[in-house]
Chain A
Amino acid sequence: MDQPPVKLEAIDVHLDYYNERMKRRLVVLDKINMTVSKGEVVCIVGPSGCGKSSFLNAVGGLLPITDGQLRLNGRQIRGPGPDRAIVFQHDSLFPWRSVLHNVMYGLSLQGKHSKHEIQERSRYFVNLVGLDGFEDHYPSELSGGMRQRVNIARALAVDPEVLLLDEPFAALDSQTREFMQLELLKILARAQKTAVFITHQIDEAVFIANKVAVFSARPAKIKEVVAIDYSGERTLDFKHSTEFLHLQQKIWRLIDVVTIGTEAEMI
């Protein structure tokens, strides 16, 4: 079988900044190398504050890197672009826009499509995340899980080549989170998207990802990329398989011993 083409490439990505309080430069990302192929879902796990989010923001173009290269389809990333969309942990839906108008947001900024076209496409993504009938509701009328679906739909609507998710389910209760993980997999499969997903939850990473990149404590380096070669359908059965537990344990051991205490509380 042919290897799918590389979408996203990080080559020796380095990021540091001058910390006013500590009066010295802090290294956040140290020589990060990573490739994400088309259609792949890559999860990044690592101790709190290790720079996972900084990496994602850099890929999103919100944070300029100090050295190295970030490439999308072989072109260097400079600033935000319609080829990437970010789903933040806080849904940050605009409260004055209805569900449909929130989803329309990215496309209407681009000004490339007619209003009718934007509405139709946005409706499609509202349906895709299972919120048909809620188009005219305001975010304050929705539950946390529903708001996060709208957030995902808003990101998908601009038809990005890569979807970047920054702990999107961290604020949800555990039941809703499990449900959303399943939904996300379905949505990604239907929309045929490449995704980079940051999470604290190792089980979430193993469940969703094709590859899990384990970051070390700051300055973040990639300790190892663990391939999740599970051929079957990802259902709750997978979560309860021994294979799943083995992978989970493997990733566990990779995360720094120092931070394992704090991570244990997260799980």
Chain B
Amino acid sequence: METILDEAESPSIVERRRSPRPGFWSRNETWILGTISVSAFLLFWQYSVSAGLVNPLFTSSPIRIVRTAIDMFSQGEIYNDIKVSGIEFLWGYALSILVGVPMGILMGWYRRINAIFEPFVSALYASPRIALVPLMVIWFGIGLGSKIAIIFLGAVFPILINMVTGVRTVDRDFIKVARAFGASDRQLFATVVFPSTVPMLLAGLRLGLGHALIGIVVGEMYAATAGIGYMISVAGSTFRTSQVMVGVIMIAGLGVGLTEALRAIERRFERWRPDNRR
């Protein structure tokens, strides 16, 4: 897949390193083992409930969860929860990108701007932002506003801080080259600084994503009238374990799906990343 150069050879020779095609087992080992372990876990879970070893009130079971999910989706109430959580997430995450990326660039590039905002960023980043949930509810009510604020507070700092680091670690030699070619400030930014920060930006987006998902659940559990977190909370306090599980699986699935999507974008940029080939 990748072209690797043998440095010791004469400079005009490129070799594609060919290794013998690996066998079926070594090519598929990872996912086969994963599938086996997950299946074994689900079977064991179902067996312990079916055999009466544990009370399904506490643990539910894979079959009950699937049935409950089918019920919930056919009754249709869940769609509103998904919609509400989805809107909160999209707004909160989009806002944190819209604020985090430009602020990070400014703080990374201009020493003075960094000096002004750095104390606030450090304090907020270090403190558990869950502590601010009551405040957000007082300020923005129990509707969408407080949830968006909580998701924003969770996701914006990882994005911002990664962006600052990305801008700070731009190779000075690249800047020198751009200047030597007569690049204007704007060109320097577009052709050197921004591309250099892409890997850090993507890592920041991935970190921020995790925080945003936490924000959804925590915000809705504290005070809400709809949403997946709210549904989990209500189901939990009325001992509907299967519904709790359905909610958790949905959030987890969303997290895994979005993280994979970001990974896929990262892989697109990986071809040129030198640290990947060592």
Q: Footprint of B on A, CB under 8 Å? A: 60-62, 79-82, 85-86, 88, 90, 92, 94-97, 105-106, 109-110, 130, 134, 137-146, 149, 158, 176, 179-180
- Please give, as numbers and ranges, the residues of chain B lying within 8 Å of A96 by CB-CB distance: 195-196, 198, 269, 272
Majority-rule SS of A interface residues: loop
Query: Can you list 10 contacts pairing A with B, beta carbon distance less than 8 Å?
Result: A86-B180, A94-B192, A96-B196, A96-B198, A105-B191, A109-B191, A110-B182, A130-B12, A141-B4, A143-B6
B177 partner residues in chain A, CB cutoff 8 A: 86, 88, 92, 94
Closest 8 A/B residue pairs (Cβ)? A145-B11, A92-B173, A138-B272, A140-B274, A106-B181, A86-B180, A80-B182, A96-B195
**Contacting pair B274 A62 (CB below 8 A):** no
Query: With A88-B177, A90-B173 in contact, is A95–B182 under 8 Å at CB?
Result: no
B181 close to A94 (CB less than 8 A) = no
CB 8 Å contact bits of B251-278 with A (1 = contact, 0 = none): 0000000000000000001011110010
Chain B residue at smallest Cβ distance from A179: B11
Q: Are A92 and B11 in contact (CB-based, < 8 A)?
A: no
The distance in angstroms between the C-alpha atoms of A104 and B201, with both chains bound, is 26
Given known contacts A80-B181, A146-B11, what 11 new A-B pairs fall within 8 Å (CB)? A85-B181, A92-B174, A97-B272, A105-B181, A130-B12, A137-B3, A140-B273, A141-B2, A143-B6, A149-B11, A179-B10
Give Cα distance in the complex from A79 to B182, angstroms.
8
Check if B12 sits within 8 Å of A94, measured CB to CB. Answer: no
Q: Does B5 contact A (CB under 8 A)?
A: yes
B272 touches A95 (CB 8 A): yes
Within 8 A of A (CB), among B35-62: none
Q: Are A88 and B11 in contact, with the CB atoms below 8 A?
A: no
Chain B residues lying within 8 Å of A60, measured Cβ to Cβ, are: 180
- When distances are taken between beta carbons in the complex, the residues of chain B under 8 Å from A158 are 181
B11 touches A176 (CB 8 A): yes
Chain A residue with Cβ nearest B12: A130
**Given A95-B272, A141-B5, A142-B5, are A109 and B198 neighbors across the interface (CB < 8 Å)?**
no
Name the contact of A140 in the complex, choosing from B173, B195, B196, B277 (C-beta under 8 A): B277
Q: How far is the CA of A130 from the CA of B11 in the complex (A)?
A: 10
Bound together, the chains give a CA A95 to CA B277 distance in angstroms of: 13
CB of B67 within 8 Å of the partner chain: no
Q: How far is the CA of A113 from the CA of B97 in the complex (A)?
A: 35
Q: B169-197, CB under 8 A of A: which get 1 and which 0?
A: 00101101111111100010001100110
B277 and A80: CB pair below 8 A? no
Q: Is the CB of B11 within 8 A of A143?
A: yes
B29 at the interface (CB under 8 A from A): no
Interface residue from B11, B174, B182 paired with A94 (Cβ < 8 Å): B174
Closest CB of chain A to B272's CB: distance in Å? 4
Closest to A90 in B: B173
A13 to B202, CA, bound (A): 47
Q: How far, in whole Å, are A41 and B265 apart by their CA atoms in the complex?
A: 47
In the complex, which of the residues A94, A134, A139 has the most CB atoms of chain B within 10 Å of its own CB atom? A94
Are B180 and A80 touching (Cβ within 8 A)? yes
The CA of A149 and the CA of B11, in the complex, are separated in Å by 10
Q: In the complex, which residues of chain B have a beta carbon less than 8 angstroms from the beta carbon of A130?
A: 12
CB neighbours (8 Å) of B271 from chain A are 138
Chain B residues with Cβ below 8 Å from A86 are 177, 180
Rounded to whole angstroms, the CA-CA distance of A61 and B176 in the bound complex is 11
The answer to whether B195 touches A109 (Cβ under 8 A) is no
In the bound complex, residues from chain B placing their C-beta under 8 Å from that of A179 are 10-11
Select one of B4, B173, B273 contacting A88, CB under 8 A.
B173
Contacts of B195 in A (CB 8 A): 94, 96
Give, as a whole number of angstroms, the nearest-CB distance from A203 to chain B.
20
Task: Check if B5 sits within 8 Å of A62, measured CB to CB.
Answer: no
Q: Tell me the minimal C-beta distance from A198 to chain B in angstroms.
A: 15
Residues from chain B with a CB closer than 8 A to the CB of A176 are: 11
Chain B hits for A180, CB < 8 A: 11
What are the residues of chain B within 8 A of A92 when measuring CB–CB? 171, 173-174, 176-177
Q: CB-CB < 8 A to A141: which residues of B?
A: 2-5, 14
List B1-41 residues whose CB lies under 8 Å from chain A: 2-7, 9-12, 14
Q: Chain A residues with Cβ under 8 A from B7's Cβ?
A: 143-144
A137 to B182, CA, bound (A): 25
B181/A109 in contact, CB under 8 A: yes
Alpha-carbon distance A92/B5, docked complex (angstroms): 18
B260 shortest CB reach to chain A, Å: 23
In whole angstroms, how far apart are the Cα atoms of A51 and B171 in the complex? Answer: 23
CB distance from A175 to the nearest CB of B (A): 8
Identify which of A62, A82, A94, A140 contacts B179 (C-beta below 8 A).
Answer: A62
